[in-house]
Amino acid sequence: MPAPFKLAPLPWDEDALAPTISAETIKFHYHKHHQTYLDTLNKLVDGSPYADLKLEKIVRKTQGASEAKDKLIFNNAAQVWNHDFYWRSLTPSRTEAGAALDSAITAAFGSKDELIAQLAEAGKTQFGSGWAWLVSKGGKLAVEKTANAETPMAKGVNCLLTVDVWEHAYYLDYQNARPKYLESVLGKILNWDFAAQNLTKEDNAVRAAAE
């Protein structure tokens, strides 16, 4: 029987984000860390009530779980989802936010520079491992940070972009200089088109629910 979840292909070549993120970091991060979360998840859900569920549903059903196995399932399922989302949040090509996202950014933060500053602060001040997120709640943008495997998606929040601040995301390239990693990623390789697509999906879902 095939494993229920397989490693999604990267949206770009392993060396495409260099020098901001090196091919060596991508190889370890994607093929070792991401793959291990996925392999562990497949073992944990095999024969369980979660075996036939989609990844997002597993994350949401196990978020805040009290049972030890369900906690393990959440940690690995959420990390698989977070990493899939992180890879798509990055791009080697210049992208534009577009009118709708630009307008939402201006309304929430005043400017894209201020948004980037807030994302950098969230990433820098996340104690230990975690994530910095740009999210949308009913079209209103906000910056959030989460620890470990936690993800706003688990609570039904629409995520637009994320930056991984676990040490394995940057240590080979930046050692302990997390702020330098954040400055480089946020300033050079964020995928604004991906964020705009996610905002549009939320807008379409809201309209569909109202019809």
Q: Name the least confident of 22-26, 50-54, 171-175.
A: 50-54
Give pLDDT, residue 204.
Answer: 57
Architecture of domain 23-88: Orthogonal Bundle (1.10)
Give pLDDT, residue 101.
Answer: 95
Q: Above 80 in pLDDT, residue 81?
A: yes
Identify whether the C-beta of residue 105 lies closer than 8 Å to the C-beta of residue 169: no
Lookup: tokens for 72: 């393990």
Lookup: tokens for 155: 């609570």
Task: Lay out the sheet containing 140-147: strands in order across.
Answer: 140-147, 130-137, 158-164
98-210 and 23-88 share a CATH fold? no
Taking the domains of the chain in order of start, what are their residue ranges? 23-88, 98-210
Give pLDDT, residue 208.
Answer: 41
Q: Above 90 in pLDDT, residue 202?
A: no
Percent of residues, the chain, with pLDDT higher than 70: 94
Q: What is the mean pLDDT of residues 196-201?
A: 92
Q: What DSSP string describes 91-102?
A: -SS----HHHHH
**Diameter of the chain by CA atoms?**
52
Give pLDDT, residue 209.
Answer: 39
| pLDDT, tens digit, 9 for 90 and up, residues 97-147 | 999 999 999 999 999 999 999 999 999 999 999 999 999 998 899 999 999
Give pLDDT, residue 211.
Answer: 38
Q: What is the mean pLDDT of residues 11-15?
A: 97
pTM over 0.85: yes
Give pLDDT, residue 3.
Answer: 57
SS (H, E, C) 18-58: CCCCCHHHHHHHHHHHHHHHHHHHHHHHCCCCCCCCCHHHH
Coil, strand or helix at 83: helix
Identify whether the C-beta of residue 159 lies closer than 8 Å to the C-beta of residue 135: yes
Q: What is the mean pLDDT of residues 16-42?
A: 97
- Fold topology of 98-210: minor pseudopilin epsh fold (3.55.40)
What amino acid occupies position 155?
Answer: K
Q: Above 80 in pLDDT, residue 62?
A: yes
Identify whether the C-beta of residue 151 lies closer than 8 Å to the C-beta of residue 82: yes
Name the burial class of residue 94, with classes exposed (0-12), middle (13-18) and buried (19+) by CB atoms within 10 angstroms of its CB: exposed
Rounded distance, CA 56 to CA 43, Å?
A: 17
**CA-to-CA dists, residue 45 to 49, 55, 69, 114, angstroms:** 7, 11, 10, 42
Give pLDDT, residue 210.
Answer: 38
Q: What is the mean pLDDT of residues 177-196?
A: 97
Give pLDDT, residue 158.
Answer: 96
For the chain, the average pLDDT equals 93
Cβ partners under 8 Å of residue 84, min gap 6: 8
